[in-house]
Amino acid sequence: MMRDYESKDGVMNIAGIPAPEIAAEFGTPVYVCDEARIRENYRNVHDAFSRYMDTRIHYACKANTNLAILRILEQEGSGIDAVSIGEVRTCLKAGFTPDRIMYTGTSVSDKELKEVAELGVMINIDSVSEMERLAEIAPGHPVSFRITPGVGSGHSDKVITGSKGSKFGIPLKEVVSTYARANDLGFDIRGIHAHIGSGGQSVEPFMDMMQVLINLVNEIEELGINLKFIDMGGGIGVPYKPQEEEMDLNELASELTDMIQMETDIQTLILEPGRYIVCDAVTLLTKVNDVKDSGVKKYVGVDAGFNTLIRPAFYDSYHYVAITNKFGKACTNRFDVVGPICESGDYLAHDRVLPEPEPGDIMAIYNAGAYGFSMSSNYNSRPLCAEVLVNDGKAELIREAETVEDLWRHQRIPERLM
Ligand SMILES: *Cc1c(COP(=O)(O)O)cnc(C)c1O
């Protein structure tokens, strides 16, 4: 089920703090991150799998790269799935040692390969060309390979990555020959990886992918190459709607680890959940600026738009919304919740029943922790918003809101235009 919040006297509380107080103290829009929930999510997924076999969680940090959030996961013992040199360096800055990070890039430049290799981070190779180039740049480097399993799953076509013909990974029919070539090139070959997509809610695609990986592991072993791990990627979905079921993690874990243990000698399973760990730990608070009846539709205009949270506009994603200072009050009408961006596609929610909204109300957008802040932008010259960490009745700033001056910082006007 979707995460629920505590209500005190008709006001939503997050980690023991009334949401409107957080909004008043830090301004809006603001992403509010609940530390206890991150730790709980991490432990849920880690415990579900490590009960059955040696498991390493590599948090897919593109979901949310705030340094404080990374610190929490570093303390929990997590590893990292990084997709760029920027993410690698951000995680090193947060205190992860290079051996806990795996780099999985796509369309990777020689420059980036060199930088990642020099930092001592394992590279999960995405193509034959990348392998040949890395052999020149960093001979003998520790590597694994991302394969295209021919199985895809996800909440939107835009985030399915594992289907046949995908831009990601080594095509199935080239996998075994690629491992043979990597062995000849002298790489330190550690494992095999696949990622089917993001936000899937059923166990089956994961099992189909695992069967593909297992068959490959056994073919690769016949070449005399012993793999240390299978990396099943991320993609564990979470419920975004009130009555939506969550994925049965125990079923997923027991089925997958059973397959691995019965059919291979692999000792270690790696998982790369991003969304699962941070999604429901973060709430976006946004203030109602304006209420409008167009004659056709009623609109609630808030101060967060697709510059702040792009998922509804980009993926058609559903985010549950509530008015924090009228929490649990009777609903009066249906509204579209829209932002301040000058595009008709700028919305956060369509057709929601809400208590009568008024300017100054503070709305909560649920499940905003994954691909929320990390995909936000400066479009319409709106500075990026603040992030706050809440724990046990205390709120701390973990990112200052940008200012308009920040938007000008890296621009130059040629003298002749002055
Ligand atoms: C994005 C990504 C993930 C995480 O996906 P989630 O749906 O957030 O769990 C994991 N692995 C790779 C390689 C990715 O690109």
Q: Is 375 in the pocket of ligand 1 (CB under 6 A)?
A: no
394 pLDDT higher than 90: yes
- The amino acid sitting at 106 is T
Instruction: Please give the torsion angle defined by the CA atoms of residues 61, 200, 108 and 378, in that order, rounded to the nearest 10 degrees.
Output: -60
Dist CA 60 CA 57 (whole Å): 9
**Are 217 and 268 in contact, with CB atoms under 8 Å apart?**
no
- Cα dihedral sign, 302-305-307-312: positive
Q: Is 279 in the pocket of ligand 1 (CB under 6 A)?
A: no
Q: What pLDDT score was predicted for residue 299? A: 98
200 pLDDT higher than 90: no
Q: How far is the CA of 236 from the centre of ligand 1 (A)?
A: 9
Q: What pLDDT score was predicted for residue 372? A: 98
Dist CA 278 CA 66 (whole Å): 11
In this structure, the residue with its CA closest to atom 3 of ligand 1 is 234
Q: Does residue 342 carry a catalytic annotation?
A: yes
pTM of the model: 0.97
Dist CA 9 CA 383 (whole Å): 34
Q: What pLDDT score was predicted for residue 152? A: 85
290 band by pLDDT with thresholds 50, 70 and 90: very high
Structural domains in the chain?
Answer: 6-33+279-408 (2.40.37.10), 35-277 (3.20.20.10)
Ligand 1 atom closest to residue 274's alpha carbon, by position in its atom list: 8
**Collapsed DSSP state (helix, strand, coil) of residue 26:** helix
Mean pLDDT for 59-63 is: 98
Tens digit of each residue's pLDDT (9 = 90 or more) over 356-387: 999 999 999 999 999 999 999 999 999 999 99
Which of 81, 126, 282 is the pocket-test mutation for ligand 1 (most atoms within 8 Å of CB)?
Answer: 81
Dist CA 275 CA 112 (whole Å): 26
Dist CA 373 CA 51 (whole Å): 33
Q: How far is the CA of 366 from the centre of ligand 1 (A)?
A: 20
Tens digit of each residue's pLDDT (9 = 90 or more) over 302-330: 999 999 999 999 999 999 999 999 999 99
Q: Is 83 in the pocket of ligand 1 (CB under 6 A)?
A: yes
Q: What pLDDT score was predicted for residue 295? A: 96
Q: What pLDDT score was predicted for residue 160? A: 87
Ligand 1 atom closest to residue 235's alpha carbon, by position in its atom list: 7
Q: What pLDDT score was predicted for residue 44? A: 98
Q: What pLDDT score was predicted for residue 226? A: 96
Tokens describing residue 343: 């595009």
Q: What pLDDT score was predicted for residue 331? A: 95
Length of the chain (residues) = 418
Across-strand partners of 365?
284, 321
Q: How far is the CA of 394 from the centre of ligand 1 (A)?
A: 31
Q: Is 274 in the pocket of ligand 1 (CB under 6 A)?
A: yes
Q: What pLDDT score was predicted for residue 364? A: 98
Dist CA 169 CA 107 (whole Å): 10
Q: Is 195 in the pocket of ligand 1 (CB under 6 A)?
A: yes
Q: How far is the CA of 194 from the centre of ligand 1 (A)?
A: 10
Q: How far is the CA of 197 from the centre of ligand 1 (A)?
A: 7
Q: Is 155 in the pocket of ligand 1 (CB under 6 A)?
A: no
Which range is least confidently modeled, 93-102, 239-248, 405-414?
A: 239-248
Ligand 1 atom closest to residue 236's alpha carbon, by position in its atom list: 9
Q: How far is the CA of 323 from the centre of ligand 1 (A)?
A: 31
Dist CA 376 CA 68 (whole Å): 18
**Are 388 and 395 in contact, with CB atoms under 8 Å apart?**
yes
Q: What pLDDT score was predicted for residue 83? A: 98
Q: Is 79 in the pocket of ligand 1 (CB under 6 A)?
A: no
199 pLDDT higher than 90: no
Tens digit of each residue's pLDDT (9 = 90 or more) over 83-92: 999 999 999 9
Q: How far is the CA of 383 from the centre of ligand 1 (A)?
A: 27
Q: What pLDDT score was predicted for residue 363? A: 98
In this structure, the residue with its CA closest to atom 10 of ligand 1 is 234
Q: What pLDDT score was predicted for residue 22? A: 98
When the pLDDT of each residue in the chain is averaged and rounded to a whole number, the result is 97
Dist CA 15 CA 10 (whole Å): 16
Q: Is 58 in the pocket of ligand 1 (CB under 6 A)?
A: no
Nearest to 242 by CA among 352, 118, 119: 352
Q: Which residues lie closer than 8 Å to 68 by C-beta, 6 or more apart?
A: 33, 387, 389, 398
Q: What pLDDT score was predicted for residue 153? A: 85
- The amino acid sitting at 286 is T
**91, 279, 331, 342: which is the annotated catalytic residue?**
342
Q: How far is the CA of 18 from the centre of ligand 1 (A)?
A: 33
Dist CA 203 CA 184 (whole Å): 37
Q: What pLDDT score was predicted for residue 201? A: 86
Tens digit of each residue's pLDDT (9 = 90 or more) over 230-252: 999 999 999 999 999 999 999 99
Ligand 1 atom closest to residue 273's alpha carbon, by position in its atom list: 9
Tens digit of each residue's pLDDT (9 = 90 or more) over 138-160: 999 999 999 999 998 888 888 88
Q: Is 233 in the pocket of ligand 1 (CB under 6 A)?
A: yes
Nearest to 311 by CA among 262, 375, 251: 375
Q: Is 212 in the pocket of ligand 1 (CB under 6 A)?
A: no
Q: State the residue for tokens 């500075």.
A: 383
Residue 157 backbone dihedrals phi, psi, to 5 degrees = -55, -30
Q: Is 104 in the pocket of ligand 1 (CB under 6 A)?
A: yes
